[in-house]
Amino acid sequence: MPLVSSTEMFKKAYEGKYAIGAFNVNNMEIIQGIVDAAKEEQSPLILQVSAGARKYARHIYLVKLVEAAVSDTGLPICLHLDHGEDFEICKACVDGGFNSVMIDGSKHPFEENIALTKKVVEYAHSKGVVVEAELGRLAGVEDDISVSARDAQFTDPDQAVEFVERTGCDSLAIAIGTSHGAYKFKGEPYLDFERLQRISELMPGYPIVLHGASTVIPEFVEKCNEYGGDVAGARGVPEEMLRKAGTMGVCKINIDTDLRLAMTASIREHLQNHPADFDPRTYLGAGRAAIKGMVQHKIKHVLNSSNRI
């Protein structure tokens, strides 16, 4: 069974006003936890691999594990490179079995981002692979950020239109207040929905991507801390904000931190409760089960992507 293109997934998601979960994968247990949840919910999926994941697990292992997941579950799955920083890594993934890549030129000036993205789009499209790009800077948001600082950091709607037109990228990651990791907001969580609305209105039908979209689920943060961890003051994007974004043109919601927290919390708990246990299958199994439960909750209650196959 082949991988499924995110183009098909995004079209349906856009029309149905829901989002596809894009989950970062680094090993077999993470992949199995995610796909087992999606199978029960009959949800399409994007499994994404970062440069760090390729370094840790090695490219070929992750590709083969994802292929195994497709054969095992029969689910529509897209295999995506997350945050490709240059042409070379995108090419390696296009040539090496991925059907979607991200070129993240967001740290470069506008014209350089366009030139780099265009180069990746030309190569990827010639091989039937789609491209996500990024415009704007994802950084933690201070409570008292000024309007001018926000404008400098967040995605400019008119530039987004120009960027998509000139690069031909298939989806665009935008900055509206989310950020990576477990510490997203210093004060109250805030997303610039007016900006999202404006971008969606200017590009009707076009799939928008939200990075840094973990909720930092309090249950797992508390469990990490209860069982010997030190994850203080962590704060993510509230679920209701993600649900709202999913109805406004956001077709892909990226989740990694919540996977890490669910897995780590459950492994910490398991090892503390079973001090004599040293079989990796038992604690990795506990991590896999926690990921499955967490992803199933997201699919049902946040992404709204259940029964979309």
- What's the angle, vertex CA 255, arms to CA 22 and CA 187, rounded to 5? 145
The nearer residue to Zn ion, 59 or 211, going by C-beta atoms, is 211
Q: Which residues contact 281 (CB under 8 A, 6 or more apart)?
A: none
**Member of 1, 52, 95, 165 binding ligand G3H (CB under 6 A):** 52
Q: Which stretch binds ligand 13P (CB under 6 A): 33-41, 57-65, 212-220, 227-235?
A: 212-220
CB of 247 to ligand 13P, least distance (A): 20
Q: Is 75 helix (H, G, I), strand (E, B) or coil?
A: coil
The reply to whether 177 sits near ligand 13P by the rule CB under 6 A is no
The reply to whether 79 sits near ligand 13P by the rule CB under 6 A is no
Catalytic annotation present for 144: no
The nearer residue to ligand 13P, 47 or 213, going by C-beta atoms, is 213
B/e letters for 278-299, b = 16+ CB within 10 Å, e = fewer, are eeeeebbbbbbbbbbebbbbbb
Are the CB atoms for 66 and 28 separated by under 8 Å?
no
The reply to whether 238 sits near ligand 13P by the rule CB under 6 A is no
The reply to whether 117 sits near ligand G3H by the rule CB under 6 A is no
Are the CB atoms for 29 and 68 separated by under 8 Å?
no
Q: Which amino acid makes up residue 197?
A: Q
Are the CB atoms for 76 and 6 separated by under 8 Å?
no
The reply to whether 100 sits near ligand G3H by the rule CB under 6 A is no
**Member of 132, 192, 256, 269 binding ligand 13P (CB under 6 A):** 256
Binding residues for ligand G3H, rule: CB under 6 A, are 24, 50, 52-53, 82-83, 180, 256
Binding residues for Zn ion, rule: CB under 5 A, are 211
